[in-house]
Amino acid sequence: MFKELNASSYAHKSIFYNAEFEGVLSKIIACYHLILKSKIVLPNNENSIRDHILYTYLKKQWFKNEYQLTDYLFDPELPENNGRIDIRVIPVNPLINDDAYFVIECKRLSAQNQMGSSGLNSEYIKEGVCRYISKKYTSYFGVSGMIGLVVDSIDIKKNVVFINDLLVKSFTESNTTQGLKYYPVVPNFDYSYCSIHSIGHGNLIIYHLMLDLSKNIK
């Protein structure tokens, strides 16, 4: 069990929201398996892949009914603090208030320049992780998400090591207190992780899903 996810480490109700968010992420992993099964060809484009996940699955009533997601609304590309969040997830039963939602950011990952300042690993951190730390993207529940859309055939576990090295050596502003560490959101999926970051007077947990779509990319 991921040792930082316990009641002594976080404020009241944090464990409930972590578990709730893990439930949502487990359904995104289900979307991923359906994409692989469908063998659909996808463009090498972040927004197009995200939209396929949303409009083929997460926003469809049949999927919500079958995968117990009827208590959530999913919205893409919403403006927030001079940025645009990829996926907003609003729990609607009960609806707490308009600011109470989860944010998931999607970024492509490839084999090119994996330790470089201009590679997609760096973009994953700079335009993803660090936007949570700077509060450009909100984290109402103290937990947020990243989806790595793997568009090349790479060793994902090795790439996570590269990302962790970049977090420590090149992106100290990420305030990383624990780098990406394997965390089993669902059984039999080996590429889910958690990282912990200091933010304000507390900690932010970021869940990371690495989805290997390399065989689906044209």
- Classify residue 8: in a domain, yes or no: no
- Give the percent of the chain with pLDDT over 90: 82
CB atoms within 10 A of CB 154: 18
Residue of 124, 110, 123 whose CA lies nearest to 180: 124
- Classify residue 9: in a domain, yes or no: no
- Classify residue 189: in a domain, yes or no: yes
User: Does residue 111 contact residue 175 with C-beta atoms inside 8 Å?
Assistant: no
Return the pLDDT at 13: 59
What's this model's pTM, rounded to 2 decimal places? 0.92
Residue of 55, 125, 65 whose CA lies nearest to 87: 55
Return the pLDDT at 5: 46
Q: Are strands 202-212 and 143-150 parallel, antiparallel or unpaired?
A: parallel
- Classify residue 142: in a domain, yes or no: yes
Task: Report the alpha-carbon distance of residue 99 to residue 97 in Å, rounded.
Answer: 5
- Classify residue 6: in a domain, yes or no: no
Return the pLDDT at 174: 97
- Classify residue 7: in a domain, yes or no: no
**Per-residue pLDDT tens digits for 144-157:** 999 999 999 999 99
- Classify residue 5: in a domain, yes or no: no
Domain range holding 93?
14-216
Return the pLDDT at 2: 44
Helices within 89-201 (DSSP H only): 120-124, 130-133, 156-169
Task: Report the alpha-carbon distance of residue 87 to residue 91 in Å, rounded.
Answer: 13
Return the pLDDT at 98: 87
What is the mean pLDDT, run by run of 10 residues, along the chain of 218 residues?
A: 42 77 98 98 97 98 97 91 90 87 97 92 97 93 97 97 97 97 96 95 94 96
Number of structural domains in the chain: 1
Q: DSSP string of 143-174?
A: EEEEEEEE-S---HHHHHHHHHHHHHHT-GGG
